[in-house]
Amino acid sequence: MNPNTPSPSDEDLPDERELAAIYGRLPKAEPGAALDARVREMAVPRGNVRRRARWPIAFGSAAALVLAAAVAWQLRDAQAPLPVADRDAAPAEALQERAPPPSMAPAAPAAEPVATPAPAPPPPPAPPAPVAAEAAKPSARADGRMAAKNASQIMRMKSAPSPQADEATSGFAPVPDLAPDDRVGEIRRLLGSGQRDAALRRLRDLRERYPHYDLPQDLRDLTP
């Protein structure tokens, strides 16, 4: 008898106990072994297996998405065009200018450990950001600011007048590669144009650089 089944709560009907006694002696038929096996097979809780299998797939998909976004972000940084100022510079000079000073490297945010050491050009404004891209943003922005700073420094260096340039525009620029004869001609030109002091400095320079040079008579007689 099933232990969960209570006895009937209502009173016995006439002759019920005698009938129940005879009924109880009937053969206790049971389902066959094959039927048992079919039912048990149906009842195997497959749902748990499916649930277990879904987690790794979901986790793997999310991880792959994050990885793909991070790689795309890095590739975009690497392939972005150089700034105009860098393109105008000589290749070696541009590389030298783009390379960050060693002292600046630790100042970059450490949130993106795979960031390349070479600073990238400034990123375009706020792309729709996956999680990994968001994490990479501070580093990229810092790299961009650094590159812009370097580019402006290059521009300033190109456009700012140097001391040599000042001297050239005033007619006193040294011409270190000139031959002694050419220097003699230069000195005579300065004398002819009334710039005696400049001509004397050139002459002194010529004598220092080429002490054995045989000066022409007109310059040999020139004294301060």
**Does residue 25 interact with other proteins by CB under 8 A?**
yes
CB of 146 to other proteins, least distance (A): 57
What is d(CA 101, CA 73) in angstroms, rounded to the nearest whole number? 24
CB of 10 to other proteins, least distance (A): 5
How far are the Cα atoms of 5, 139, 181, 222 from residue 197, in angstroms, in the given order? 128, 57, 20, 11
Nearer to other proteins by Cβ, of 16 and 93: the residue is 16
Give the range of 35-43, 94-102, 128-136, 199-207 binding other proteins by CB under 8 A. 35-43
CB of 18 to other proteins, least distance (A): 6
**Does residue 50 interact with other proteins by CB under 8 A?**
no
Nearer to other proteins by Cβ, of 3 and 176: the residue is 3
**Does residue 3 interact with other proteins by CB under 8 A?**
yes
Nearer to other proteins by Cβ, of 14 and 161: the residue is 14
**Does residue 223 interact with other proteins by CB under 8 A?**
no
**Does residue 8 interact with other proteins by CB under 8 A?**
yes
Q: Contacts for 108-114 with beta carbons within 8 Å, 24 or more apart?
A: 108/139, 108/142, 108/143, 109/138, 109/139, 109/142, 111/135, 111/136, 111/138, 111/139, 112/136, 112/138, 112/139, 112/140, 114/70, 114/74
Among 39, 75, 105, 107, binds other proteins (CB under 8 A): 39
CB of 14 to other proteins, least distance (A): 7
* CA atoms 112, 116, 122, 128: torsion sign: negative
Among 45, 124, 128, 176, binds other proteins (CB under 8 A): 45
Residue 117 DSSP one-character state: S
User: How many residues interact with other proteins (rule CB under 8 A)?
Assistant: 39
Q: Which residues contact 100 (CB under 8 A, 6 or more apart)?
A: 117, 118, 119, 146
CB of 21 to other proteins, least distance (A): 9
Give the range of 16-24, 136-144, 160-168, 185-193 binding other proteins by CB under 8 A. 16-24
The angle at the Cα of 76, spanning 74 to 81, to the nearest 5 degrees, equals: 130
* CA atoms 142, 148, 151, 153: torsion sign: negative
Q: Which amino acid is at 20?
A: A
Residues at the site binding other proteins, with contacts judged by CB under 8 A: 1-10, 13-16, 18-20, 22-32, 35-36, 38-40, 42-45, 47-48
